[in-house]
Amino acid sequence: MSNDDYSQMSLLDMFRTEAEAQTQVLTASLLALEHDPDAAMHTEACMRAAHSLKGAARIVGVPAGVRVAHAMEDCFVAAQQGQLKLRHRQTDLLLRGVDLLSAIATTPDADMSEWETGKAGQVAAFLAALTLALESGGESEEYATVEAPQTDVVALADLLPPETPSSKSVLTTGNDTDHVLRVTANNLNRLLGLAGESLVESRWLKPFSASLLRLKRMSQASDRALENLSNLLSEQGASEQVLAVMADIRQRAIEHQQLLSQRLADLDMYDRRSVDLAHRLYTEALACRMRPFSDGTHAFPRMVRDLGRSLGKQVKLKISGESTQVDRDVLEKIDAPLGHLLRNAVDHGIESTEQRQAAGKPVEGTVYLEARHSSGLLQVIVMDDGAGIDLDRLRNTVVERNLTTAETAGNLSDAEVLEFLFLPGFSMKAGVTDISGRGVGLDVVKNMMKHLRGVVQISSEHGKGTRFQMQLPLTLSVLRTMLVNINGEPYAFPLALISRTLKVSRKQIEMLEGRQYIYIDERRIGLATAHQVLEVGEPDMTEQLCVVVVGEGHQAYGLIVDGFLGERELVVQPLDARLGKVKNIVAGALMEDGAPVLIVDVDDIIRSVDKLVSGGQLSKVQGTATGAGAAQRRRVLVVDDSLTVRELERKLLISRGYEVDIAVDGMDGWNAVRTNHYDLVITDIDMPRLDGFELVALIKKHPNFSALPVMVVSYKDREEDRRRGLEAGADYYLTKGSFHDETLLQAVVDLIGDAMV
């Protein structure tokens, strides 16, 4: 269940966030449909994304977005029904629609009305083109000449939405959300858990081995006692029979001791191997807890396609190694260098259609992007099947630019000559275009590799293509932290975000305008308890208080914790994407003994303290703001796959005092219902994985939840939909058109009463 805090966002900001995610889905699915027009799953994904955007735009009052998304949805429905064929030019037009939706969503609030005035012509031209496409059924492509919003190729690529937070785990389905569904997020989490358990369990052999060693020593002591007893009996003239029995006992004891020693040696060897294996498994599992390479490649297929078409070339991008795990920082930093390399491959590398035909090559050129692990490093390769680099021409260019002499250039190896391409301002193009010719690009790649402690190599074969290979460290995600004890549990603060740690006496705490402070270097620092911020119990109020200072300037706060546990280097483990954004927590990690530890989100912590301060809810060090007798608030679960709708409902309910949780789809909602207590569930109908009708049926059929009130809120206002919802067991059916008045809140009051119990 997502716990993202959007309370500070406007409805338009939430619409923009949702538009980023949905336009990404539209782009990826349209590119897939271009190569496989009959792929029903991609058409369905496009239709659902357009439908969600239409509803979100209607909620926030952006009619231009409603019209564009609705028209695109009609096209996808027509394609599903076989009334429209999506060919290259149809795809061009629909991608223009995606860009138009992105442009509408990213328009500043104050300028949004321009889409109904000065920019209305762009929307009208696009809608006219789509209308022609629907009327022709896709057979005619004349509409492609209809004027529509124009941008250059680079701008088109820039308009593509960035990866969403969920991406959200949506890993973002695919997110992470599994939004992305970030591929193997769940499996990876289980692997990490099992690896940690394996590491912990393997260490149980050591005490068992130690106990056997003590048994061996006891056996040796017993043998010495038997030897002394045998000698004593012999000195006292014991019979031969008694001495024979004693000798037999001693022999058996020696055999048992030897067997124990042998088995102890075997166990010790197994212990070392087991610990080593568990440690390697744990280390490898941690190394894998990074982001898949595919998270950073969403925009590239569209960029390559659009750039190729603008140059009159047919080009496709093939990406391999998409599941290769890459450190999140590395993935973010190589985005711009990869963009430069891909643009160069299309512009400089891939030949024109005529040249490729003359060379006996396929008309469509191919650019390859690959990521893989090799020898403990990350390798990222960009190559093309184009003309390659003319090394003789490159040598001449180097000489013409007075970078070296003709004699030296002639003696340079191919690899040495190719290094000149990485010089700032160096270009082999005679003229400057919107795409290239300024000599900016490869030097950026080189500099970024140095920054990441990596290297880049270039090789080329004339007539066959060019290859760039980057070698990078696998991870930068080892985090130095300060471990603290809060309510008996360890928490990790990133060391770089801590101003200082100290112990203060309670006598040093001063009061000013109802708030508590301490003075550090003549600066007044406000105090808060980490327990209240994290909502975990109450602090252990000893005379000496442990304080972690975070933030800067007027937003610097001292957080009181129960104790310092020391510095620790941790490998960051993102939390399960299904949890969404956990308030005040950025990630998790596993310590050497396999124990989990949460890494706090310092920025989120500061925001949480600010909210407590502004709301007058900050607890004093001597006690807490709420007591056991405090009134309780009724709790509502909002289930909707539209971010905009979720947040609107959440804000409406919170404004009336209700406690609200949210879920991103029906399955997420069902899991929430089973694990938490709610007084009311409000659900949409059209959702992935589990729709609203199915969710209502599951709740009402379960003996533990059958009495839980459920309200259905949907755009579907047909009588048959209303009847179906009520037949499934819904207690109330409301259309989303009622959001802007008191209908929703009044319905909630009718079902469960006021917010306070």
Provide the pLDDT for residue 609.
87
Provide the pLDDT for residue 6.
54
Provide the pLDDT for residue 112.
84
Position 630 pLDDT exceeds 90: no
Q: Which helix (H) or strand (E) holds 106?
A: none
**Does 139 or 163 have the greater pLDDT score?**
139
**Token output for 649:** 């409902």
Provide the pLDDT for residue 192.
63
Per-residue pLDDT tens over the stretch 484-498 = 999 888 999 977 678
In a 13 Å sphere around the CA of 33, the CA atoms on its Cβ side amount to 30
Q: How much is the average pLDDT of 266-286? A: 76
Q: Which of 605, 603, 597 has the alpha carbon at shortest distance from 572? A: 597
User: Three-state secondary structure along 377-442?
Assistant: EEEEEEEECCCCCCHHHHHHHHHHCCCCCHHHHHHCCHHHHHHHHHCCCCCCCCCCCCCCCCCCCH
**Does 318 or 374 have the greater pLDDT score?**
318
Provide the pLDDT for residue 737.
60
User: Three-state secondary structure along 118-129?
Assistant: CCHHHHHHHHHH
Q: pLDDT-derived band of residue 209, with 50, 70 and 90 as boundaries? A: low
Provide the pLDDT for residue 628.
41
Return the top range by mean pLDDT from 119-123, 449-453, 718-722.
119-123
Per-residue pLDDT tens over the stretch 597-611 = 898 888 788 888 888
DSSP 3-state of 686: coil
Position 331 pLDDT exceeds 70: yes
**Token output for 530:** 């980490």
Per-residue pLDDT tens over the stretch 149-183 = 333 333 333 333 333 333 333 333 333 333 433 43
Q: How much is the average pLDDT of 76-90? A: 82
Provide the pLDDT for residue 368.
95
Provide the pLDDT for residue 622.
55
Provide the pLDDT for residue 498.
82
Beta bridge partners of 681: 637, 710
- The lowest-confidence range among 220-224, 418-422, 619-623 is 619-623
Per-residue pLDDT tens over the stretch 374-407 = 765 788 999 999 989 888 888 888 888 888 888 8
Beta bridge partners of 504: 545
Position 652 pLDDT exceeds 80: yes
Using alpha carbons only, give the angle 614, 618, 621 rounded to the nearest 5 degrees. 150
Position 236 pLDDT exceeds 70: yes
DSSP 3-state of 111: helix
Provide the pLDDT for residue 371.
92
Residue 166 has phi, psi (to 5 degrees) of: -75, -5
Task: Output b/e per residue, 221-238; b: 16+ Cβ within 10 A.
Answer: eebeebeeebeeeeeeee
Position 214 pLDDT exceeds 80: no
Provide the pLDDT for residue 203.
62
Provide the pLDDT for residue 629.
44
DSSP 3-state of 169: strand
Q: Which of 472, 154, 182, 426 has the alpha carbon at shortest distance from 334? A: 472
Position 681 pLDDT exceeds 90: yes
**CA torsion, points 429, 430, 435, 439, in degrees to nearest 10?**
60
Provide the pLDDT for residue 200.
58
Position 276 pLDDT exceeds 90: no
Give the Cα separation of 673 and 309 in Å (integer): 50
Provide the pLDDT for residue 17.
83
DSSP 3-state of 292: strand
Provide the pLDDT for residue 216.
67
Q: Which of 716, 752, 715, 709 has the alpha carbon at shortest distance from 732? A: 709
In contact, 364 and 35? CB cutoff 8 Å: no
Q: pLDDT-derived band of residue 682, with 50, 70 and 90 as boundaries? A: very high
DSSP 3-state of 506: helix
Give the Cα separation of 142 and 104 in Å (integer): 26
**Token output for 342:** 């891909």
Provide the pLDDT for residue 648.
83
Per-residue pLDDT tens over the stretch 335-349 = 888 888 998 899 888
Per-residue pLDDT tens over the stretch 107-134 = 888 888 889 888 888 888 888 888 887 7
Q: For the chain, give the mean pLDDT.
A: 77
Question: Could you please report the per-residue DSSP string of 227-286?
Answer: HHHHHHHHHTT--HHHHHHHHHHHHHHHHHHHHHHHHHHHHHHHHHHHHHHHHHHHHHHH
**Does 217 or 626 have the greater pLDDT score?**
217
Helices (H), 641-706: 643-655, 666-675, 692-701
| Cβ-proximal residues to 668 (8 Å cutoff; 6+ apart), any chain | 1, 2, 578, 639, 689
**Does 35 or 750 have the greater pLDDT score?**
750
Provide the pLDDT for residue 369.
94
Provide the pLDDT for residue 144.
36
Position 367 pLDDT exceeds 90: yes
Q: pLDDT-derived band of residue 148, with 50, 70 and 90 as boundaries? A: very low
Q: In what order do the strands lie in the sheet with 377-384?
A: 315-320, 365-374, 377-384, 465-473, 455-461
Q: How much is the average pLDDT of 18-27? A: 86
Give the Cα separation of 692 and 56 in Å (integer): 18
Give the Cα separation of 492 and 358 in Å (integer): 63
In contact, 367 and 317? CB cutoff 8 Å: yes
